[in-house]
Amino acid sequence: MKQKLTSGIKRIVVIGSSNTDMVIRTKNLPRPGETVLGGTFFMNAGGKGANQAVACARLGGAVTFVCKTGNDVFGHQAYQLFDDEGIDPSYVFSDPKNPSGVALILVDDNAENSIAVASGSNSNLLTSDIDSSLDAIENSEIVLMQLEIPLKTIDYAAQIAKSRHKMVILNPAPAPSEPLPHSILKNIDLITPNETEAEIISGIPVVDEASAIAAAKRIAELGVKKVIITMGSKGAMLYENGEAEFIPSIRVKAVDTTAAGDCFNGALTIAISEGRSLKDSVLFANRAAAISVTRPGAQVSMPYRHEVDVANF
């Protein structure tokens, strides 16, 4: 479903990963050394960057996606999918040496998941590719990134975007192996970690509301003035201008939580681009994410705008 752009829509650039997800649904997640039989298999498009780009596009955004895929069938399929979703694919670069990224995902009957990723061409998205994407960044208002591409590239893209007075949003997922460098944090306007990611960035374990506030305050001291910590079924905590507020999640029967965070971040970015307050943006993102978890798959689970607008929770 291609989107027709209308005047007044702020352009969003998503910089990140594109993967093909190979998913097995099974009764239980296998323990180390265990084989679980009887699962069902399906394959669909994924990758945190691509998921968030599709979420933005389906919710009404004018989206350009910067990524790198392999010169293989998965890469060619991804390019066509982005075009079909109404995403500008002009900056989807083809890597002649590395294969497209692949994720192996196990999902159990409780909608819990276990994921392993072979990054492939995602690991070869370089600062030179960001240089080749300057026109897209120049013509955008918001740049959204995640951590499935090299930190050096994220650092460089954040510097470029900030120097051009763009709003920079970082979803620090998957969880970094160590605290993020100050060179990145100082160029981020809004960061959206979950509890684990917030602990790694701040050094403060997030186990309840008080510790979430302490972690957000520490992250703000590190340079990011707006923080949203997503806390699963407990909702989200937003921290802005030294004030914290907790917003409850929407209770639904979850089928697959694989891309819930990606849907949340895409929807949050759309709401911000429309001029909504941070609180209203979180409320909108909660609605979109609640719909996404009732469906299997990653990109395919992302709701369209009319579905979010009419949802009755």
Q: What angle do CA 213, 244, 170 make, to 5 degrees?
A: 75
- 225 has pLDDT over 50: yes
- 32 has pLDDT over 50: yes
- 1 has pLDDT over 50: no
Q: Each residue of 114-140: pLDDT tens digit?
A: 889 899 999 999 999 999 999 999 999
Indicate the average pLDDT of the chain: 94
CB 86 within 8 A of CB 3: yes
**Cα–Cα distance measured from residue 221 to residue 204, given in angstroms and rounded to the nearest whole number:** 13
Q: Is 60 exposed, middle or buried (0-12, 13-18, 19+ CB in 10 A)?
A: buried
Q: Is 87 exposed, middle or buried (0-12, 13-18, 19+ CB in 10 A)?
A: buried
CA count, 13 A, side-chain hemisphere, 260: 25
CB atoms inside a 10 Å sphere around CB 117: 19
Q: How far apart are the first and last CA of the chain?
A: 26
- pLDDT at residue 297, rounded to an integer: 83
Domains of the chain and CATH, by start = 11-18+46-97+122-310 (3.40.1190.20)
**Full-model pTM:** 0.92
Q: Each residue of 178-213: pLDDT tens digit?
A: 999 999 999 999 999 999 999 999 999 999 999 999
Q: Can 84 be counted among the known catalytic residues?
A: no
Q: Each residue of 272-309: pLDDT tens digit?
A: 999 999 999 999 999 999 999 999 888 999 999 999 99
Q: Looking at 95, 129, 256, 262, which residue is catalytic?
A: 262
Phi, psi for 121 (deg, rounded to 5): -65, -20
- pLDDT at residue 112, rounded to an integer: 86
